[in-house]
């Protein structure tokens, strides 16, 4: 069995190398395509761009290998392979653009990098479709299947067997079941047999190929099954032990090590390191680009704010960020200078329940401030908060510290993500949502569903929301 695992590791590495070869071929294809279509920009000889090839291979290698791209390769759908190829290629292109900018290689034709991103995606996706088809055929012939034994004969164990055998790619084959108590080994459950009891599992694994065991005990503590886990571990069998005691928790369970000991980590916060790193890279790149593009406009708005009413152009306020970290948020000032002192007298006109204050016709807002709020221009200085790392482009809206202090415990979970300039609340109604609990549920929905794709959808939906001024006041 250990030999089979070594062979699998070798095959995965060989396929990884093959994909890097495909990426290299896509680079040359991109140059040829770009040379033929012209596009009105001069393209130097291939030698000028060859230094990008090893850089590209290194970048794509990191984005392919670090996030464990090849785990569960055969069981993934074509759509999942397309999404993975697209994300890898998009991140690769962003990294190349950053590399060219950092090293000031201004002679490099940027359109070539863009075409390379498209050809790399097409090459990777095509290669994976061919590999997936070959592996599916290979597995259906009986080669390289994962043989599974399931501990339990209750409905959930049977449902697991059906799920495993129906997974894409026909990766799993269930050999049968073992029971917690003595049972008739001749009994059949559907097309599967009861092979014996939990205690007989090592002997069963010695008599037939068994790669993985799923234990779904209906009684007994987790410790009572550790001896069986260790015996399977000694034989090189992968064991999946159901943690029924923790199934009703909302958190994801992760096994982590600290100071030589192992701990179960209960977390609701997204922990996809590579995806979060990509989010941060996109945040900084887009924020810097926007700041550079609109800086003259920002200076003009700052001048108008300063001339329009007494007080500074930029409003600063302590806000609660990720997990309660306090930071200074920047906005264009839209109210009179002493607006905070007047809030107490307006509390009776608050249009939002809960700890926050929202009021449509707030008398403290200046004429220019009302326009800035309607167009969301007042939020633009927060791009600097994004660059600093206080905020993200997309995330739950950061609220003042004195409002967060009044949160109920369940509402604080929204702060497990870095706060954002825009989010689900902004694109699904903003100030038209008058129930504070509904607002918080939108933020929790974002935290629980977070992905780079969701961020992209929110950013795209933000554009019409801003242009239409929906719920902004």
Question: How does pLDDT run across 203-251, given as a tens digit for each residue?
Answer: 998 888 888 899 988 776 667 788 888 888 888 888 888 876 565 555 6
Q: Which domains does the chain carry?
A: 2-140 (no CATH), 146-248 (3.40.50.720), 273-468 (no CATH)
Q: Looking at residues 46-62, what average pLDDT do you find?
A: 90
What is the pLDDT, as a whole number, of residue 337? 84
What distance in Å separates the CA atoms of residue 158 and residue 151, rounded to the nearest whole number? 10
Give the 3-state secondary structure of residue 257. strand
| Of the candidate ranges 17-26, 168-177, 178-187, 447-456, the one whose mean pLDDT is the lowest | 178-187
Q: Looking at residues 143-162, what average pLDDT do you find?
A: 85
What is the pLDDT, as a whole number, of residue 168? 62
Higher pLDDT residue, 117 or 6?
A: 117
What distance in Å separates the CA atoms of residue 436 and residue 441, rounded to the nearest whole number? 9
Q: In which band, very low, low, confident or very high, does the pLDDT at 252 lie, cut at 50, 70 and 90?
A: low
The H or E element that residue 438 is part of is helix 436-449
* Contact between 269 and 416 (Cβ < 8 Å): yes
What distance in Å separates the CA atoms of residue 294 and residue 329, rounded to the nearest whole number? 19
Higher pLDDT residue, 187 or 64?
A: 64
What is the pLDDT, as a whole number, of residue 304? 95
Using CB atoms within 10 A of its CB, is residue 181 exposed (0-12), middle (13-18) or buried (19+)? exposed
What distance in Å separates the CA atoms of residue 129 and residue 201, rounded to the nearest whole number? 38
| Of the candidate ranges 147-156, 188-197, 379-388, 453-462, the one whose mean pLDDT is the lowest | 188-197
Strand-pairing partners, residue 264, are 255
Give the 3-state secondary structure of residue 87. helix
What is the pLDDT, as a whole number, of residue 318? 95
Give the 3-state secondary structure of residue 254. strand
Alpha carbons within 13 A on the beta-carbon side of 267? 13
Strands (E), 130-251: 146-151, 172-179, 188-189, 192-197, 212-215, 238-241
What is the pLDDT, as a whole number, of residue 1? 42
Give the 3-state secondary structure of residue 265. strand
* Contact between 439 and 431 (Cβ < 8 Å): no
Tokens 């979970």 identify what position? 413
| Of the candidate ranges 228-232, 291-295, 364-368, the one whose mean pLDDT is the lowest | 228-232
* Contact between 359 and 350 (Cβ < 8 Å): yes
Give residues with Cβ within 8 angstroms of 428, minimum separation 6: 442
What is the pLDDT, as a whole number, of residue 2? 42
**Hey, CA dihedral for 10, 16, 19, 23, is it positive or negative?**
negative
What is the pLDDT, as a whole number, of residue 323? 87
Per the confidence metrics, is the pTM higher than 0.85?
no
Q: In which band, very low, low, confident or very high, does the pLDDT at 10 lie, cut at 50, 70 and 90?
A: confident
Token pair for residue 386?
């994004």
Strands 192-197 and 188-189: antiparallel
CA 333 and chain centroid, separation: 34
What is the pLDDT, as a whole number, of residue 185? 54
Token pair for residue 240?
């999946």
What distance in Å separates the CA atoms of residue 146 and residue 134, rounded to the nearest whole number? 17
**pLDDT over 70 at 327, yes or no:** yes
Closest CA to 83 of 128, 36, 43: 128
Give residues with Cβ within 8 angstroms of 181, minimum separation 6: 197
Share of the chain above pLDDT 70, in %: 86
* Contact between 266 and 439 (Cβ < 8 Å): no
Q: Looking at residues 264-273, what average pLDDT do you find?
A: 68
* Contact between 424 and 458 (Cβ < 8 Å): yes
| Of the candidate ranges 22-31, 113-122, 141-150, the one whose mean pLDDT is the lowest | 141-150
Give the 3-state secondary structure of residue 182. coil
Q: Looking at residues 147-155, what average pLDDT do you find?
A: 89
| Of the candidate ranges 11-15, 82-86, 123-127, 465-469, the one whose mean pLDDT is the lowest | 465-469
Q: Looking at residues 464-470, what average pLDDT do you find?
A: 73
Share of the chain above pLDDT 90, in %: 33
Q: Looking at residues 11-31, what average pLDDT do you find?
A: 92
Token pair for residue 314?
């930029």
* Contact between 378 and 332 (Cβ < 8 Å): yes
Q: In the predicted model, what is the mean pLDDT of the chain?
A: 84
> pLDDT, tens digit, for every residue of 93-111?
999 988 888 888 878 888 8
Tokens 């034709």 identify what position? 109
What distance in Å separates the CA atoms of residue 333 and residue 445, rounded to the nearest whole number? 31
Phi-psi region of 169 (alpha: psi -120 to 50; beta: other; left: phi over 0): left
What is the pLDDT, as a whole number, of residue 242? 82
């Amino acid at each position: 069995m250990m030999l089979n695992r070594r062979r699998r590791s070798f095959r995965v590495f060989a396929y990884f190398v093959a994909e890097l070869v495909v990426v290299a071929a896509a680079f040359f294809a991109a140059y040829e395509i770009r040379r033929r279509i012209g596009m009105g920009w001069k393209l130097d000889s291939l030698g000028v761009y060859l230094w990008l090839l090893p850089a590209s291979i290194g970048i794509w290698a990191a984005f392919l290998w670090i996030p464990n791209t090849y785990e569960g390769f055969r069981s993934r759908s074509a759509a999942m392979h397309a999404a993975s190829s697209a994300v890898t290629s998009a991140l690769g292109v962003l990294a190349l653009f950053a590399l060219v900018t950092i090293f000031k290689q201004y002679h490099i034709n940027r359109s070539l990098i863009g075409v390379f991103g498209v050809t790399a995606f097409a090459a990777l996706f095509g290669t994976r479709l061919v590999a997936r088809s070959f592996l599916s055929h290979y597995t259906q012939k009986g080669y390289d299947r994962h043989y599974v034994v399931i501990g339990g004969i209750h409905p959930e164990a049977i449902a697991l067997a059906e799920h495993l055998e129906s997974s894409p790619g026909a990766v799993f084959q269930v050999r049968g079941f073992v029971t917690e108590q003595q049972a008739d080994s001749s009994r059949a459950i559907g097309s599967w047999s009861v092979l014996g009891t939990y205690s007989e599992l090592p002997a069963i694994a010695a008599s037939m190929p068994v790669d993985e065991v799923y234990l779904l005990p209906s009684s007994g503590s987790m410790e009572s099954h550790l001896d069986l886990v260790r015996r399977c571990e000694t034989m090189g069998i992968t064991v999946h032990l159901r943690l029924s005691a923790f199934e009703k928790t909302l958190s994801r369970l992760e096994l982590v090590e600290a100071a030589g000991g192992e701990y179960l980590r209960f977390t609701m916060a997204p922990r996809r390191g590579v995806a979060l790193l990509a989010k941060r890279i996109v945040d900084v790149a887009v924020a810097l680009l926007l700041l550079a593009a609109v800086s003259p406009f920002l200076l003009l708005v700052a001048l108008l704010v300063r001339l329009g009413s007494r007080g500074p152009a930029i409003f600063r306020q302590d806000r609660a960020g990720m997990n309660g970290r306090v930071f200074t948020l920047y906005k264009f000032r839209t109210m009179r200078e002493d607006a905070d002192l007047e809030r107490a007298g307006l509390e009776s006109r608050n249009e939002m329940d809960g700890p926050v204050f929202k009021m449509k016709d707030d008398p403290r807002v200046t004429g220019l401030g009302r326009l800035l709020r309607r167009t969301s221009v007042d939020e633009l200085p927060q791009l600097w908060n994004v660059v600093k790392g206080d905020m993200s482009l997309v995330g739950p809206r950061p609220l003042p510290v004195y409002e967060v202090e009044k949160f109920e415990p369940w509402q604080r979970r929204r702060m497990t993500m870095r706060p954002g300039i825009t989010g689900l609340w902004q694109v699904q109604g903003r100030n038209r949502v008058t129930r504070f609990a509904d607002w918080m549920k939108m933020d929790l929905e974002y935290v629980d569903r977070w992905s780079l794709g969701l961020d992209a959808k929110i950013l795209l939906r933000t554009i019409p929301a801003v242009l239409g001024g929906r719920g902004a006041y």
